[in-house]
Structure 1
Amino acid sequence: MDQVNIEHTPPAVVEYLALRQIAGLSPMSREGAEIGLPNSLFAVCLREEDMLVGMGRVIGDGGCFFQVVDIAVHPDEQGKGYGKLIMSEIMKYLKENVPARALVSLLADVPADRLYAPFGFEYTSPKSEGMWWRQGE
């Protein structure tokens, strides 16, 4: 792994939107990012010098429900273990802060879903299926 700095703060809105786009995640609005990022329960950013090369966040109500979101690594930096590093930081937070019986969920794009199983995440089907609704433009 190259020299990477770990920060436990959300990224700036502009770099957040840019990394989501270049990493192939669905686009979010600037307005949504300005509201959402400061409301993160936990965030991790990986930086090489001042460049954001990876990120991840935990959102939720802080008691019963938590969701892992925004796991992204810059395409030029993939294959260096940065996704595992981000998840390791998130798991430290979850193990220290999630109360008993609380639910931690995530939506995993294929083939990135393979990243999460070693951290104890399991598929919910056939017992339940993930669903979503998204506000239009």
Structure 2
Amino acid sequence: MGMTGKLDIRYQCPSVEQYSALRKEAGLSEMSAEGAAIGLPRSIFAVTLYEENTLIGMGRVIGDGGCFFQITDIAVKPSHQGRGLGKMIMREIREFLNTVPEKAYVSLIADGEASKLYEQYGFESVMPRSQGMFLRP
């Protein structure tokens, strides 16, 4: 765990309440408290950024731990955007991904301009040979 000035990097998931509040503030879709309580502890890797014990950014890796990994929940509080925190989160995740088995498939869904951030870390579009799809039960 590193301290950079007042910035505290932690390798753990936030609480359900912190998670829900950050997703909402960052403009991400709402998740149920029930789903977050089940899902957060099952993260394969998580990085959270705190400033004076206030969650200001996070990212997670989910999946089966061997063949498939998905990056999710990349979020930075709007009041803290433009400071390179998204890049810091992605660097931490990229470092973790260097430890996964070879030929593992690592994916993410990039919303809007976020693809520009992810391209800096080696991600490329799957279009046109594949397309992202989702089901909201």
- What residue identity is the alignment partner of 1:39? R
**Aligned match of 2:21:** 18
Instruction: Please list every run of 5 or more consecutive structure 2 residues that lacks an aligned counterpart in the other structure.
Output: none
Match status 1:78 vs 2:113: no
- Root mean square deviation of aligned Cα: 1.0
**Post-superposition shift, 1:3?**
2.7
Paired residue secondary structure (2:37): helix
**Aligned match of 1:100:** 102
Question: Distance between the aligned counterparts of 1:110 and 1:80, measured in 2?
Answer: 19
Question: Distance between the aligned counterparts of 1:2 and 1:22, measured in 2?
Answer: 24
Paired residue secondary structure (2:94): helix
Q: Which of residues 17, 41, 61 is equivalent to 1:38? A: 41
Question: Distance between the aligned counterparts of 1:57 and 1:37, measured in 2?
Answer: 9
- How many pairs are equivalent? 134
Instruction: Please list every run of 5 or more consecutive structure 1 residues that lacks an aligned counterpart in the other structure.
Output: none
Question: Distance between the aligned counterparts of 1:22 and 1:113, measured in 2?
Answer: 20
Over the matched positions of the two proteins, sequence identity in percent amounts to 57
- What residue identity is the alignment partner of 1:104? V
**Post-superposition shift, 1:112?**
1.4
Match status 1:123 vs 2:125: yes
Q: Which of residues 65, 70, 76 is equivalent to 2:68? A: 65
**Post-superposition shift, 1:10?**
0.4
**Post-superposition shift, 1:111?**
1.2
Question: Distance between the aligned counterparts of 1:2 and 1:30, measured in 2?
Answer: 32
After superposing on structure 2, the runs of 4+ consecutive aligned residues of structure 1 that deviate more than 4 Å are none
- State TM-score, norm by structure 1: 0.95
